[in-house]
Amino acid sequence: MKIIDKLITWSLLKSPWILHFNSGACNGCDIEIVDALTPKYDIERFGMVLKATPRHADILVVSGPVTRQQVKRLKTIYEQMPEPKFVMAIGACGCSGGVFNGCYGVVPGVDKTLPVSVYIPGCPARPEAIIDGVVKLIQSVEGKK
């Protein structure tokens, strides 16, 4: 492994930066993701910071059952992220379309559009579950190292 790759993996593990993307969710998962950042759960202690642009992000956190309008935008956002990049699908909707499975306006499940690394079920996913998913993702990257 080149020294630069080692450096990238090290920085990813120490402070994974996340980008939150709402692909047509009901807001339930989105407020739980923001909740995970606030004092009671405080995900920032793992070095995670919510970033505003895809070009700074390592992990794309997608909530919602990807509406047809958002498919193209979701792909564009993913392509703008630098490598290595990971996708987390939050909530029952993100995993499989959930209650919206079968609606004409959705392409159910984030994995129909993007490669997903972590699925976090729950409607909405609890902040504890989101933190657990992040830790599992970090551990799996560590294992690869």
Contacts to other proteins by CB under 8 A: 20-32, 34-35, 38-40, 52-53, 65, 67-70, 73, 77, 98-100, 102-106, 123-124, 126
Nearer to other proteins by Cβ, of 102 and 143: the residue is: 102
CA angle 70, 108, 103 (to 5 degrees): 90
Nearer to other proteins by Cβ, of 75 and 145: the residue is: 75
Nearest approach, Cβ of residue 113 and other proteins (Å): 14
Nearer to other proteins by Cβ, of 56 and 145: the residue is: 56
List C-alpha distances in Å: 115 to 39, 62, 83, 95: 31, 12, 13, 12
Nearest approach, Cβ of residue 27 and other proteins (Å): 4
Nearest approach, Cβ of residue 75 and other proteins (Å): 12
CA 66, CA 112: separation in Å to the nearest integer? 9
Nearest approach, Cβ of residue 140 and other proteins (Å): 27
For residue 118, what are the contacts with CB-CB under 8 A and spacing of at least 6? 86, 87, 88, 89, 133, 134, 136, 137
What amino acid occupies position 127? P
Nearer to other proteins by Cβ, of 13 and 112: the residue is: 112
